[in-house]
Structure 1
Amino acid sequence: MDKSELLQRKLQREKSARHQAEMLLEQKSLELYEANEQLKLVLGQLERQNVEGLRKLEFEAHINKALIYFGRAFLTRTLDDGLLSSLLRRLSSNNVINTVFLRLDTELFSTIIGERFGDGIILHGDFTQHVSWQDNDLFMPLSVENQVIGELVVNVGESLIERDFIASQIAPVVDLLCSALSRQIMMTNMQEARNRAEESERSTKEFVAMINHELRTPLNALLGSAELLHGTDMNEEQQEMLKTLSHSGDLLRHIINDLLDFSKMNAGMMDLIPTHFSWPDLRNTMIGIFEPITQEKGIEFFVEVDSEMPTMFFGDFERICQILVNLIGNAIKFTAQGEIKVRAKWHDGQLRVSVSDTGVGITQDAQTQLFDPFVQADRTAKRNYEGTGLGLAICQNLVSLMDGNIKLTSELGKGSEFVFIISLSESDQIVSSVAQENGNCTTKLLENLVILVVDDIRMNQIIITQMLGKMSVQFDIANNGVEALQAIEKGDYDIVFMDCRMPEMDGFEATTHLRSQLYQKPIIALTAGTTLEEREKCMLSGMDDILTKPYTARELKAIIEKWM
């Protein structure tokens, strides 16, 4: 092979090698370009991930701060001072959320919210039941006890943060709102229930006061008329009818007193009115009431008192009498023969009184429910023993008010014993007995008195003036407070008996006016009201004492002698 041919082959090999080198270079250059582009893409993704992560951290921190602040605020403040609006503004003060609205159920929140919660609160009636997105709006329902009561609407801007992350961060805010709104609903319901209870209590008290007045006023005329008739000439038949009338009137008074006291118990109006009183007065009162009854029935009546018994006490004399009257009255009612014994002991600030009888006794079954209202030992249709079945329930309530207790032991066919123990204070104040006062007051002194009777009811005027007339007391009559002021301006009266409830001007207003004019003479309330509020109202108006209807001539005379 000649030299030219060899040279030609060499040139072809070099040309082929150069072409391969150029092809390899081109391939490597393309690979390098592609690698560079991939690197740029990866670097871009890393850069975006770093920005998104930073924004996530910022958004999460922003939400957490709002949760901490408003979580504390919702526990210490009510939702009527713009707290919700403040929370909505706080949520939207970042680069992710544009606006936030709170939609609440119209029927549930219209009375709770009103205009108090500020901007961003919308009353609405239709809500989404699940978390959902509509364009850039996130809808998150608010549920309380499986009931959707509203929804939080969050509008977000264009953001690198994914929507699931945004929703996950808003979820605790929704939980916080549900808790706060649930608490507000509960507080509102509690307040409404409290208002209803207070209104019910107020209505009950007003009803008890009204029915107390309406029942006692005609009863005063009935019993007063019967008492006045006792001093007139009557034949035997008329005397028997008067006896029946008096007995029925007394029975009616006891029934009315029991029913009214029971109503007071239920209304929380049973109050104690403590006064200074003597034990001899209490003992003599019981003997005076029950000794004639037991003598007529042919049973013996004993009152035994411990030698250590103090003379003077400070407590509710009337209520203690009421307890004793109920217990002794029951003993007489259920005892046909034998004896009734009252024993009283005093020890370390407590009065212990037992009332025992030799009557029919009480079965074990009946004993367990005897202190319940309307329960009687004799429940048969024969009705051998009259009564309302309220006396012992009232006794138990009164004893409880005096920080005491009452117990019963009984054996059928042998008798019963009731024992009550009450807390009582000794008193060093000397109070003259009514009997002594009556004895020291002469008819001549009564004849010198001039009394003004202020009452708008004609039958009440007749009863009290007839009683005053029998005492030889001079009197004038006024029909209301206005007439009373006119009469006092013209005349000089030793005592004024003032009815409390009258047209034109009631007794409270009239008394207040008189005291403002420095009128110094005794003003005694004539009232059918027996509640503590009624008595306090009398005293606050300037009245000196109270004569409760129905009253007897003896009680009327006693209070006159007290103030003359």
Structure 2
Amino acid sequence: MRFFKESDWQSTFRQSVWYSFIGFMIAIAIAVFGIITYTSDSSQNNSRRIFESSLWNALQLQVQSYRFLNYLIELDEADYPLNGHAFFEYDLLMSRVDLLREGQVGTLIRTFENGRSTRLLNIINGELELLSFNLSKMESGDASYQSNLIERIRRIEGQINEFVTLVNTGSNQYITSEHHVLQKNLNYIQLLSMALLVCLLLFGFFSIRGLSELRRAFKHNKKLTLGIQTVHEDKANMLAFINQEIRFPVNAILGVAKTLNRSTSKNFTEASAKHIEESGLQLLQTIEMLSDLALIDAKQLTLTPTTEHLPSHIEACLALFEPQMTRKGLQSVVYIDPNLPEFVCLDFSRTKEIISALLQNAISHTPSGSISLQIRHSALSASQTALPAGVKEASVLQIALRDTGLGMPSELQQNLRINPALPMQQEGPLPSKVGLSLALCHKLVYLMKGEMHFSSAPQKGCEFWIDIPFYIENTSPIPQHTAFRCPDKTVALLIETDAHLAKIITLQLATFNIEVTVSKDGSFQEHKEFNLVIIGNTPKYERESHDAIQQRKAKACPIFSYLPDAINYPDYAITALHFPLTQNQLESLIAPLFPQSATSTEETLS
């Protein structure tokens, strides 16, 4: 797969080289087949036939001359008249001469010994031509010419022998040269065949490579097609998801607006206006989440850390969701570790979005029960190297949110376990898979170089742990608020059957140096002495509350409660607690109960 686009001139040059290579390969193939044809068996056989014919005819000339000589020697008086026998033998001898002078054999003989063989053949032919006159006399019965003929034939016998020797030598040289030419052609065939084989191998290699690239191109195109289809599907899912997220607050606003047109009640108008404001804020929050998700995906979201008061931001964030939790009857409580510095350097805007996302998810999955938020030090340690300018130290803040709801589906949990910090992982879960709030929360946590963990149990709720780094600036120390502390051995009774809620309230009261006894079964324990009683969720309120409250009244024991029936108790003023329950709310109610302790705390600060 190419990582850059090939330019036009490179493509043209590559195409020209490819065509030239194919043309060169075709030329080699033609040359090979041409040489093979030239050195074929027919050509070789023709050379051998000429070689054999030249030798054979020369030897036949010599043999026929001996026969003719013997014929003349053996003639006697009884053989006359000859009746053409002499001319027959003479014609046989002359036919051998003609065979040596004509055709390819004659052409070949002319090249022997620079024409000497041809001159000898012409001399022999001339001498034999002169014998025809004497033969005609002998045919007519004159035997006196016999001895002359024999003598003349014997005189040319040496020339015939020399001619046969020259033909033999020349023929051998001819066939040797033909063998050399044949061997040379065979060598050419071998070289060209090797070149053709190399070209074929290169052609096969480039063909296979081209097919591989073509196959990869098809796969890449298929992947791109699937990617485009996935993008279209994601776009359709995102639009459907946006429609789903925005539809509820918009319908709420439209519904309240229609109701306002029909109602004239002032109280109803105020409630409707509050509901419209709440729905509008929810709609704006949804739009901001979508905008932040788009910025994160485009890698354009920047963090802007500032040094601000941490508890104020946490409580303000929780207060935004108070109307939703009140409508569902959910009880919420927040605990901020007093060992944390109150002023920290952090991107509070993004931290608020993370907490809001976790709260929105908890509210959605909790039909009834409680939601707790804890802000504390994390067990993880932050890197102290390469700290920003003006920073004294770095630490890790843990945001723990727990609910007692239905828990999360396994598919949602699986999508949330994606860690973008690990190799071969996705950038984050899709909003259509985990919801808008959790998708934004997940991406913001890892954008802030934090970590996200969670646990979930069906019908028992889920808990999230978010670890994000924060900094403490190296400036003049900002005065820290010292929490009010009750006198030692101050004991409070917490009547609460919700163990989760009781645990967080116990941590809050421990901040004020109050030991807490939790009544897990909801009993009022009226026979025990306590400095403070907090009435929470209990099934024994109607049966035990009246006598217990009267006893606490007699002992002037202050009673706090967030149970509606207890708050409306007619015979004793029970201090009401409101959700979300915070440490500041408890401090404002507990501090007046122990004025001496509050005075000593102020003196200590001064």
Q: Give the shorter-chain TM-score range.
A: 0.3 to 0.5
* Structure with more helix by fraction: 2
Output the TM-score relative to the length of structure 1. 0.38
Output the TM-score relative to the length of structure 2. 0.36
